[in-house]
Amino acid sequence: MSRNKTGGLAGVVAGRTEICTVGKEGAGLTYRGYDIGDLVDNACFEEVAYLLHHGRLPGARELAAYREKLASLRALPGALRQTLEAIPADTHPMDVMRTGCSVLGNLEPEGDFAAQRDVADRLLAAFPSIVMYWHRFHADGKRIETATDDDSVAGHFLHMLHDAPPGELHRRTLDISLILYAEHEFNASTFTARVTAATLSDFHSAITGAIGALRGPLHGGANEAAMELIERFDSPQAAAIGVREMLARRELIMGFGHRVYTRSDPRNSVNKRMSKRLAEEAGDDRLYRVSEAIEQVMWDEKKLFANADFYSASMYHFMGIPTYLFTPIFVCSRITGWSAHVFEQRADNKLIRPAAEYTGPRLQTWAPLSARV
């Protein structure tokens, strides 16, 4: 794979935001001024979603009403369920989510931008239903009821997956993971959403494009690629040897490195702790230790640290979540950040249309067809 060392808009300030800081001196990762550590220790995901959307924490009554509203928006229209049933079983679920979002935009078009908060809430509530309805229909031949009465997004997701409400350890672990993935400033998918919103296009188009950007292994798809890597090795020793060989072949190790963070990803220590806890619960003696071995080699050989996608892979695995559903979980969370950015873009909009440095041929003389070889 060839990589452009100077491009990719690295370090370019492409706009202003009040939503999030990533790796800023003295601030680290913050949502609306709250440190990610405080949010993980104290908040639930719905509180964080509200914070991102409204710019302030909800009061107790507002939070209860918000949970109720989200729970009331989980049912899918018949036409969308039919579409999900028609999508082939071997489709990647990220493509299912992209289609699901777009179809919802046909069935429930945004219309007036004044309704944008309702569209954001509908997508937040419906994304777990979309991916899980498709998954259960094709994996188990079941038409599941997506309108469960779970009081959290995490509980709703795991309930539909396993046909039973989850235990508190798994529910809260996924809840924290959703908090960690919720927002990350001008990453590729968020920027995609903002570029689309800046043309005054509709909400569903902005989010559909963002899902497409998140799908790639250099962005959200890294958690699935990381799991595939970890599962390849039988022991920490085999992992250390295998990863050194991959590095010698100049292969990318998914789940490591970051465009903005230079020393560590603040989300990683939380994920690592949760993965360890679930490994103990599952009696796992391999995957967690293999993960640690890979992390050590990456540090020793390249001074590269694990990002948010590395330990979330084994963590999801220990909860019985199939690997191909890992990146869709990212969507179920990041829809909150994307929505906040669409609101912000629309509130002070300017078409996003940068310039390019031209490197093509000089002006050419037109040759008629008869004169060409």
**Which positions touch ligand COA (CB under 6 A)?**
3, 5, 8, 10, 218-219, 222, 252-259, 302, 304, 307-309
Distance separating alpha carbons of residues 327 and 311, to the nearest angstrom: 13
Q: How far is the CB of 278 from ligand COA (least distance, A)?
A: 21
Residue with the closest Cβ to ligand COA?
257
The residues, any chain, with a CB within 8 Å of residue 270's CB and separated by 6 or more, are: 37, 40, 176, 180
Write out the two tokens for 222: 């890294």
User: In the chain, which ranges are continuous DSSP H helix?
Assistant: 36-42, 45-54, 60-71, 78-86, 93-107, 116-140, 153-162, 168-181, 188-198, 203-214, 222-231, 236-248, 266-282, 287-302, 308-318, 326-347
Residue with tokens 């039988």: 234
User: Quick check: 294 and 241 in contact, CB under 8 A?
Assistant: no
Distance separating alpha carbons of residues 48 and 57, to the nearest angstrom: 8
Q: Which residues pair with 35 in a beta bridge?
A: 30
CA 273, distance to chain mean position in Å, is: 20
258: annotated active-site residue: yes
Three-class DSSP category at 268: helix
Q: How far is the CB of 246 from ligand COA (least distance, A)?
A: 8
User: Quick check: 267 and 29 in contact, CB under 8 A?
Assistant: yes
Of 121, 309, 317, 341, catalytic: 309
Nearer to ligand COA, 37 or 257 (CB): 257
Nearer to ligand COA, 105 or 220 (CB): 220
Distance separating alpha carbons of residues 48 and 24, to the nearest angstrom: 20
The number of CA neighbours under 13 Å toward the Cβ of 106 is: 10
Nearer to ligand COA, 121 or 309 (CB): 309
Nearer to ligand COA, 118 or 231 (CB): 231
Distance separating alpha carbons of residues 279 and 240, to the nearest angstrom: 20
Alpha-carbon torsion 16, 22, 24, 26, what sign?
positive
User: Quick check: 6 and 27 in contact, CB under 8 A?
Assistant: no
Q: How far is the CB of 83 from ligand COA (least distance, A)?
A: 30
Nearer to ligand COA, 104 or 253 (CB): 253
53: annotated active-site residue: no
Q: How far is the CB of 283 from ligand COA (least distance, A)?
A: 28
Q: How far is the CB of 7 from ligand COA (least distance, A)?
A: 9
Of 258, 265, 317, 341, catalytic: 258
Q: Tell how strand 28-31 and strand 20-24 pair up.
A: antiparallel
Rounded (10°) CA dihedral 335, 206, 340, 13: 110
Q: How far is the CB of 264 from ligand COA (least distance, A)?
A: 12
Q: How far is the CB of 309 from ligand COA (least distance, A)?
A: 5
Nearer to ligand COA, 202 or 295 (CB): 295
Nearer to ligand COA, 47 or 309 (CB): 309
219: annotated active-site residue: yes
Angle in degrees, 0-180, between the axes of helices 266-282 and 308-318, rounded to the nearest 10: 20
Nearer to ligand COA, 134 or 305 (CB): 305
Q: How far is the CB of 262 from ligand COA (least distance, A)?
A: 10
Residue positions annotated with a catalytic role? 219, 258, 309
